Structure 1
């Protein structure tokens, strides 16, 4: 990091909706404190994405933003430029603000997911089911593709890009897809007794169940998977990895 960053105080923040629980604010505030950096990190809790323009205009020395649910796709029209990976993924979770005030979109969810699941992958992990079709799921799909893992999208309704609805899921389909990734908010605190409605009896010790949720640490989805002998991973490592990648981008 250059000397300029040691001296100047910058603002960073998270764009989302109902984000008082946010991982990012606590993570970066702690990071700035530990590394003796004068920066601040705040939440931009927006009821509508159109509010982003006035928020950016009224925040001095804003250098970078993270973006979370439900704005990872909705933010794109407000950006001046996307990097190649974000363009291919079609979702943004990191924004760099240039010295001239240009907003450049990146995706670090892809990086976080790839590097957090990689140590757990074995030969038989060849196909995945992605539960949910939001912005985060697009980064997951891109990472799987790059790792040579085939995937199918699962959603409540039969729409473009969806391979199966929950009603069509069978134990046989679960058995065939040895990686199951929950990209839905089902099971997030405080609604901890909810989980995606899939045939859990098809899960075995050969499976990986990955939940993007990190609060609670063990969701109902992971708990049931664990009882079936599956390897279970929550979203915490992915979040830490994507946060550090965001930090690298802001400081390039």
Structure 2
């Protein structure tokens, strides 16, 4: 990839958060900039001791054009945005902010990132598929919206707090038609929905390091060979759920590559630069070489 030459015309972007030392976001953003020859750079800004309004005001004074928002600031943005994209509205959260003379504009990359990542990672389309989703908050909400937007055949949502799954299903049905329903794990109907599904997706934190011996599924829910099992968790690369599914003969995938597509969506939205499919493919191959040493 081409290098980045920083000069007085370089557009500045930031990653703001408290645990950003190992985040791939700046590296991804800068790799895209270098690849297409766009004069911009993203730098990490450790901001855990400051409120997000102060941070954004400081970045605007320094002529930053935008910022990727990491924890703990995502939940603090609502009152200071002058606009939000449809994706941010649907997710109920913002993870990217564009800065201009009119103020701060919010976006969320997670719906687009999952919708793009899933077929690339698995070779399967979401369209028309029967999906069983574990998790209704955070990434689970984004995954649910992506599945509905991509016109899945049906979407069963199970969540530790059952009401949250009911609320999300109702919202999806208002936006996309009667496609989703809540599946309470202690309900016999949930077992039927699980075994009837073609795709099982975990969008909870169950199985994430350090709780690596935990599966989000109760023992009576056992994947079958026809299931495609996707775990948004990628640390460890093979979670307990994926181990169990692999032993049952399922095709299994983790969510590590979602990070690339999230960075790609953030770059294009922040810079208003659209990459063609060939450029996206080449960048993704470079990402895989870097991450997987292939």
- How would you bin the TM-score normalised by the shorter chain? 0.7 to 0.9
Aligned to 2:124: 121
Q: Tell me, which stretches of 5 or more residues in structure 2 are unaligned?
A: 1-5, 167-181, 273-294
Shift of 1:8: 2.5
Shift of 1:230: 1.7
The CA deviation string for residues 201-252 of structure 1, in whole angstroms up to 9 with x for no partner, is: 5312221222222222222222222222222222122211121111111111
Q: Do structure 1's residue 210 and structure 2's residue 213 form an aligned pair?
A: no
1:191 partner SS: coil
Count of aligned pairs: 245
- Check the 8 A contact 2:227/2:251 in 1, yes or no: yes
2:235 partner SS: coil
2:201 partner SS: strand
Aligned to 1:27: 28
Report the TM-score when normalising by structure 2: 0.70
Correspondence list, 1:5-154, <5 A: 8-16=9-17, 18-28=19-29, 39-46=41-48, 51-59=51-59, 60-68=62-70, 72=74, 74-98=76-100, 100=101, 102-118=103-119, 120-121=123-124, 126-149=129-152, 150-154=154-158
- Check the 8 A contact 1:11/1:61 in 2, yes or no: yes
Separation of aligned partners in 2, 1:133 and 1:70? 20
- Check the 8 A contact 1:200/1:225 in 2, yes or no: no
Aligned to 1:156: 160
Aligned to 1:225: 245
Shift of 1:39: 1.9
Q: Do structure 1's residue 241 and structure 2's residue 261 form an aligned pair?
A: yes
- Check the 8 A contact 2:13/2:40 in 1, yes or no: no
- Check the 8 A contact 1:127/1:178 in 2, yes or no: yes
- Check the 8 A contact 2:134/2:201 in 1, yes or no: yes
Separation of aligned partners in 2, 1:116 and 1:80? 30
Separation of aligned partners in 2, 1:40 and 1:133? 31
> Alpha carbons of 1:201 and 1:166: their partners in 2 closer, same or farther (altered >3 Å)?
closer
Shift of 1:82: 0.7
- Check the 8 A contact 2:213/2:240 in 1, yes or no: yes
Aligned to 2:171: none
Separation of aligned partners in 1, 2:267 and 2:56? 19
> Alpha carbons of 1:225 and 1:6: their partners in 2 closer, same or farther (altered >3 Å)?
farther
Q: Tell me, which stretches of 5 or more residues in structure 1 are unaligned?
A: none
Separation of aligned partners in 1, 2:72 and 2:150? 26
